Amino acid sequence: MKILKFGGTSVADAQNIKRVINIVKDKSQESRLIVVVSALSGVTDLLLKASKEASEKNEHYKEITKLIEQKHLEAIKDLISVNHQSALLSHVKRIINHLETLLDGCFLLGELSARTSDTIAGFGEILSSYIISEAMKHDAELVVETTFKDSRELIITNSSFGKAAVNFEITNQLIADYFHNEGARVTVMPGFVASSMDGNNTTLGRGGSDYTAAILAAATNASDLEIWTDVNGMYTANPRLVKQAQPIRHISYQEAMELSHFGAKVLYPPTIQPVLHLNIPIWIKNTFEPEAFGTYISNENNLQSNPIKGISHIDKITVITLEGSGIIGVSGFSKRLFEALSNENINVIFITQASSEHSICIGILDVDADKAKVAVDKAFEVEISQLRIDPCTIEKNMCIVALVGENMKNHQGLSGKMFSTLGKNNVNIRAIAQGASERNISVVINEKDVQKALNTLHERFFEDNIKQLNLFVMGVGNVGEKFMEQITNQKKYLRENLKINIRLIGVSNSRKMLFDGDGIPLKDWKNLLSDGETADKDAFIERVKALNLRNSVFVDITANDEISKTYSQYLEKNIAVVTCNKIACASAFDNYKNLKNLSRKYNAPFLFETNVGAGLPIIDTLKRMIASGDKINKIQAVLSGSLNFIFNNFNENTSFHDVVKEAGVQGFTEPDPKIDLSGVDVARKILILIRESGYEMEIDDIENKSFLPQASLDTDNVPDFFTSLTANAQHFNDLYKEALAKESRLKYVAQFENGKASVGLQFIPKGHDFYNLEGKDNIVLFYTDRYVDQPLIIKGAGAGAAVTASGIFADVIRVGNV
Ligand code: ADP
Ligand code: ASP
Ligand code: MG
């Protein structure tokens, strides 16, 4: 005998039921079968909703009943040929009439007892099993004999309505006798429903059809129990929340039990108990992909290399904490606490007590929270009034996350890894428990963090250490586009070689923004963005926070002041900030310092390599020198790729105006070229280097000897600025001639020495390190305690979209390597 159980989605409609019949057809060749079915998908919820509404005198229940009727009639019409339909339709109509009568009763009385609720909840399985058995009987291809048997006649329980306990002695006997005497090849039975000793309808708890199947498997000593559902087995984590989760091929009863108790809904937790001692293996299979291996649950403990089998979670948890000196050393304290809860029928899911015994912390379901608080405070009324214990505190909307694996006991350091992984992602752990079996380590966290926690833990324990970086990119102009191109081209390499999986989750330009929690297809981001929603920087932040993804990185590729003011909001949420925008680091020292502190406090990298010298590794080098104990004494640099380009191309044959224009066209200047030409940009850069060298300085402390005529400095928009360049052509030509006369070249130099900094145009003589600086190159000379006579020199292209983009990219990779 084999038991096959098909869940709600597997029997959702006629089309799916046909799949089920096909599976049954195949399997019935090998063995006798008992086919246990759930209600059509969603019907149990509808029944419970209808009964609640009826008891609240809400007539809407009638519409729900109609909907339920319609679903079943439709299924019959699509499944069964017209000449066989009428008897079945009238049978189903009779059942629906009975349901309506019960609901009308609830409506008229305005009440719903647990007993009535159970009778109503079971209608879904009664209907589905009957229809499916008829469909099988009339299926031309399923030639084997098929019969229907009502589980309520065989499974006998106590009267705990809602989740009744099975009387195995009677039940096993009834089942064994029935199947001994009746020989149909296939017997279809409803899951979930049973009856009490005194003949009332009961149910086995939500999701209980799995249990029905297990009870039948044990009582018939079946060779296999197969749970057919809508996923390829029991996964390493809930596949709806963790996209990278994989089906577990082999798992022990204990592990499967632990995972299901801790929320892996694919298997109703009590299911394993009846088959465990008989060693009946359980298969979890996918009705929609029957050829997939699925999960094999047995008592074989297979020692695979990963000690963790799965990660599961239970949501809607409340943590109750009881604290006070009155707890210490008092025996019988816990007994009173648990008694108070048990008297209210409150199930305790999680317990921890610090060894100081000063407090005890328990996890229960949110729905029981208020009742529990009243009960516990009442139980300790006397101690509370004497101030020896505080009234208990309750924290709702929490969640338990558990790592499960039989072999965890043989490995050290797993809990350390678990906690540090969560800590790094700013997931606050409220309580911790590890069962003595060491098959499970659980933590209580805030519900809003659950997806992030599951995904990071999954990444840490199952994904070969591949780290997912979730990018939110603001600004996709020249540099931004290049950046997108580079990450698209390198994605595969990064995954394979650096174990970094880059995903673009959000992107925005000044007009539009776009989000996709599953990742925006990199090849198509531009089209998708043009159809995106209206851009809004505050809404952008809110979306990033709400997505609450692990390893999130905000990438600022704008030159925008407002955007630079938002960094703290990201860092405080443990979101890394990578920026080529210099404004924040060159703003008031306190602001710069604050951002660095936030970065440290919230463990969120704040990286801005491209603030100085575009893609050149200047800041990174500086950081390493400082970290290894060097001291920066003097900096001399040509830091403006744009000014360098301009002065290298400006000669007697060109006009200063045209060279500046060309620099803009080639993307070497800021959108407002005055920022470059006035020296502000260079001043910001040297300021950042000075600060990164460990000195405190403000932008106004830097002496700025401008080479621009006053008329150009006085302009307040880009067109006027360009006009002023033409009007003052002579001024620039004179500068050029003077350099020629001195046999030197014009270079815009930034300098820092003895605590003083300046920026300005200089005549650089032949032989100087700066003299031969080409095109748009930058050069920095660091004189340090270790580089005394000969400076450490970093030189190379210091402007341009491609190099800037690659500098941003390098920072993103640094975040990945943290
Ligand atoms: P059925 O109606 O077939 O009984 P359920 O909805 O009860 O199906 O259980 C299957 C669902 O369990 C899956 O669709 C999935 O969303 C959820 N689930 C939660 N955790 C896991 C897990 N670890 N592995 C597989 N499925 C899981
Ligand atoms: N139909 C019931 C429920 O939804 C039982 C089951 O599907 O296992 O809870
Ligand atoms: Mg289920």
Residue 356 pLDDT level (bands cut at 50, 70, 90): low
Q: Which ligand 2 atom lies nearest to the CA of residue 209?
A: 8
**What is the spatial distance between Cα 338 and Cα 344, in angstroms, rounded to a whole number?**
10
Tell me if 217 is assigned to some domain: yes
Check pocket membership of 462 for ligand 1, CB cut-off 6 A. Answer: no
pLDDT at 355: 65
CA dist list (Å): 125 to 71, 136, 233, 607: 13, 16, 23, 59
Tell me which of 586, 611, 636 is where a domain ends: 611
Enzyme catalytic residues? 685
Residue 353 pLDDT level (bands cut at 50, 70, 90): confident
Contact between residue 396 and residue 318 where contact means Cβ atoms under 8 Å apart: yes
Tell me which of 402, 431, 462 is where a domain ends: 462
Contact between residue 444 and residue 362 where contact means Cβ atoms under 8 Å apart: no
Tell me if 805 is assigned to some domain: no
Check pocket membership of 205 for ligand 1, CB cut-off 6 A. Answer: no
Decide if pLDDT at 275 tops 80. yes
pLDDT digits 0-9 by tens, 138-195: 987 877 899 999 999 999 999 999 999 999 999 999 999 999 998 899 999 999 999 9
Contact between residue 633 and residue 783 where contact means Cβ atoms under 8 Å apart: yes
CA of 8 to the centre of ligand 3 (A): 7
Decide if pLDDT at 128 tops 70. yes
Helix, coil or strand: residue 747: strand
pLDDT digits 0-9 by tens, 211-253: 999 999 999 999 999 999 999 999 999 999 999 999 999 999 9
Tell me if 268 is assigned to some domain: no
pLDDT at 668: 82
Domain CATH for 549: 3.40.50.720
Domain CATH for 714: 3.30.360.10
Does residue 130 share a domain with residue 56?
yes
Tell me if 259 is assigned to some domain: no
33 CB-contact burial (10 Å; exposed 0-12 / middle 13-18 / buried 19+): buried
Decide if pLDDT at 328 tops 80. no
DSSP designation for 496: I
pLDDT digits 0-9 by tens, 666-708: 888 888 899 899 999 999 999 999 999 999 999 999 999 899 9
Check pocket membership of 236 for ligand 1, CB cut-off 6 A. Answer: no
Atom 6 (ligand 2): residue with closest C-alpha? 207
What is the average per-residue pLDDT within 301-312? Answer: 81
CA of 93 to the centre of ligand 3 (A): 27
Does residue 173 share a domain with residue 24?
yes
Q: Which domain holds residue 514?
A: 467-611
Atom 6 (ligand 1): residue with closest C-alpha? 266
The partner residues of 429 in beta bridges, in order of sequence, read 445
The percent of residues above 70 in pLDDT, for the chain, comes to 99
Tokens of 678: 């006035």
pLDDT at 683: 96
pLDDT at 34: 98
Tell me if 294 is assigned to some domain: no
pLDDT at 434: 81
Does residue 150 share a domain with residue 36?
yes
Tell me which of 611, 638, 668 is where a domain ends: 611
**Pick from 131, 129, 39: nearest CA to 88:** 131
What is the average per-residue pLDDT within 430-458? Answer: 89
The pick from 16, 36, 38, 41 for probing ligand 2's pocket by mutation, whose C-beta has the most ligand atoms within 8 angstroms, reads: 38
Atom 5 (ligand 1): residue with closest C-alpha? 266
**Mean pLDDT rounded to a whole number for the chain:** 94
| Nearest ligand by distance to the CA of 194 | 2
pLDDT at 677: 93
The partner residues of 501 in beta bridges, in order of sequence, read 468
What is the average per-residue pLDDT within 394-412? Answer: 90
Does residue 654 share a domain with residue 568?
no
Does residue 579 share a domain with residue 490?
yes
pLDDT digits 0-9 by tens, 24-41: 999 999 999 999 999 999
Residue 301 pLDDT level (bands cut at 50, 70, 90): low
pLDDT at 358: 78
For residue 393, give every residue at least 6 positions away whose Cβ sits within 8 Å of its Cβ, in sequence order, or none.
320, 321, 323
The number of CA neighbours under 13 Å toward the Cβ of 165 is 3
pLDDT at 303: 61
* DSSP per residue, 681-726: HHHHHHHHHHHHTT----GGGEEEE--S-HHHHT--SHHHHHHHHH
Check pocket membership of 635 for ligand 1, CB cut-off 6 A. Answer: no
Pairing, β 756-765 against β 744-753: antiparallel
Alpha helices in 112-201 (DSSP H): 114-121, 123-137, 168-181
Contact between residue 564 and residue 556 where contact means Cβ atoms under 8 Å apart: yes
CA of 744 to the centre of ligand 1 (A): 76
pLDDT at 127: 98
Does residue 481 share a domain with residue 447?
no
| Nearest ligand by distance to the CA of 204 | 2
Check pocket membership of 280 for ligand 1, CB cut-off 6 A. Answer: no
Check pocket membership of 613 for ligand 1, CB cut-off 6 A. Answer: no
Does residue 400 share a domain with residue 337?
yes
Contact between residue 327 and residue 357 where contact means Cβ atoms under 8 Å apart: yes
CA dist list (Å): 586 to 582, 611, 637, 688, 690: 6, 9, 17, 6, 10
Contact between residue 619 and residue 637 where contact means Cβ atoms under 8 Å apart: no
pLDDT at 50: 98
Does residue 26 share a domain with residue 92?
yes
The pick from 209, 228, 284 for probing ligand 2's pocket by mutation, whose C-beta has the most ligand atoms within 8 angstroms, reads: 209
464 CB-contact burial (10 Å; exposed 0-12 / middle 13-18 / buried 19+): exposed
Domain CATH for 316: 3.30.2130.10
Decide if pLDDT at 357 tops 80. no
Check pocket membership of 404 for ligand 1, CB cut-off 6 A. Answer: no
Number of domains in the chain: 4
Tell me if 747 is assigned to some domain: yes
CA of 180 to the centre of ligand 2 (A): 28
Does residue 755 share a domain with residue 719?
yes
Tokens of 133: 């058995």
pLDDT digits 0-9 by tens, 769-784: 999 998 888 999 999 9
Residue 436 pLDDT level (bands cut at 50, 70, 90): low
What is the average per-residue pLDDT within 738-753? Answer: 95
Q: What is the pTM of this model?
A: 0.79
pLDDT at 326: 78
Does residue 554 share a domain with residue 443?
no
Enumerate residues lining ligand 2, CB below 6 A. Answer: 7-8, 38-39, 44, 124, 191-192, 206-210
Tell me if 290 is assigned to some domain: no
Does residue 658 share a domain with residue 765?
yes
Decide if pLDDT at 516 tops 70. yes
Tell me if 291 is assigned to some domain: no
Does residue 139 share a domain with residue 225?
yes
Atom 7 (ligand 1): residue with closest C-alpha? 266
- Kindly state the helix (H) or strand (E) to which residue 533 belongs, with its residue range: strand 533-534
Q: What angle do CA 276, 277, 280 make, to 5 degrees?
A: 55
Domain CATH for 205: 3.40.1160.10
